[in-house]
């Protein structure tokens, strides 16, 4: 048990070091990050899911709402564009969240155009627990409207123009995801 406790402490120290070295993409505490967040739900295709992004304290926002499968719906999302920092050399995105036990997607785009592919990676949350998710850029898969794009160009961190969160797990009902911050890092986290 002592060895396991020491290994866990070492893993936490390494994760803390990784996060500390990260470049801030969005820190909801700072207030000086120039990103414009907007809601994009399945209503753009006839669905009736709804969501919002609300500040819940001085450093955290909550993405929440109701996911509906009616009218061929099934997703709720929030995304930001604006002054995304140059992430050249980054190998992973790190996000700190407190979820509701559902699986959310982190989504990146290399263009602000509405027909641009999304590069997505899923992260699982634990009900009511703060978690730091390290998602290597190599794990992001290109897609558009729920379909994988096999011949899409590779995700280039220097070209990322938009970042977002999407819930589309086909489980109708209420959802909630608190977000503390989002960073980019040169370490992919694979060894942690």
CATH number of the domain enclosing 51: 2.60.120.430
Per the CB < 8 A criterion, the answer to whether 134 and 12 are in contact is no
CA distance 136 to 154: 13
**The most confident of 28-42, 87-101, 141-155, by mean pLDDT:** 87-101
Tokens standing for 111? 């263009």
Q: What are phi and psi of 138, to 5 degrees?
A: -65, -15
Per the CB < 8 A criterion, the answer to whether 172 and 67 are in contact is yes
Kind plus residue range of the DSSP H or E element containing 98: strand 92-98
Check pLDDT > 70 for residue 18: no
Residue 190 lies in a domain: no
Residue 107 lies in a domain: yes
Residue 191 lies in a domain: no
CA distance 167 to 64: 10
Provide the CB-side half-sphere exposure for 85 (13 A, CA): 16
Residue with tokens 């295709």: 45
CA distance 92 to 87: 10
pLDDT, one tens digit per residue, over 96-119 is 999 999 999 999 999 877 678 899
Residue 88 lies in a domain: yes
Structural domain including 65 reads: 2-185
For the chain, the domain total comes to 1
Mean pLDDT across the chain: 85
> What pTM was computed for the model?
0.83
pLDDT, one tens digit per residue, over 122-168 is 999 999 999 999 999 999 999 987 788 888 889 999 999 999 999 99
């Amino acid at each position: 048990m002592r060895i396991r406790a020491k290994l866990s402490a070492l893993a936490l120290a390494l994760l803390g070091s990784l996060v500390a070295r990260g470049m801030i993409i969005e820190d909801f505490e700072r207030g000086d990050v120039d990103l414009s967040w907007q809601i994009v739900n399945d209503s753009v295709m006839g669905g009736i899911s709804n969501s919002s992004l609300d500040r819940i304290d001085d450093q955290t926002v909550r993405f929440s709402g109701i996911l509906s499968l009616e009218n061929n719906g099934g997703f709720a999302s929030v995304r930001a564009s604006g002054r995304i920092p140059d992430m050249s050399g980054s190998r992973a995105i790190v996000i700190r969240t407190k979820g509701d036990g559902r699986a959310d997607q982190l989504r990146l785009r290399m263009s602000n155009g509405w027909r641009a592919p999304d590069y997505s990676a899923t992260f699982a949350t634990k009900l009511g627990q703060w978690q730091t998710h390290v998602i290597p850029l190599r794990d992001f898969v290109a897609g558009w409207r729920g379909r994988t794009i096999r011949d899409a160009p590779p995700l280039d961190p220097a070209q990322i123009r938009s970042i977002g969160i999407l819930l589309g797990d086909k489980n109708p009902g209420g959802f909630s995801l608190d977000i503390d911050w989002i960073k980019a890092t040169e370490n992919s986290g694979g060894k942690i």
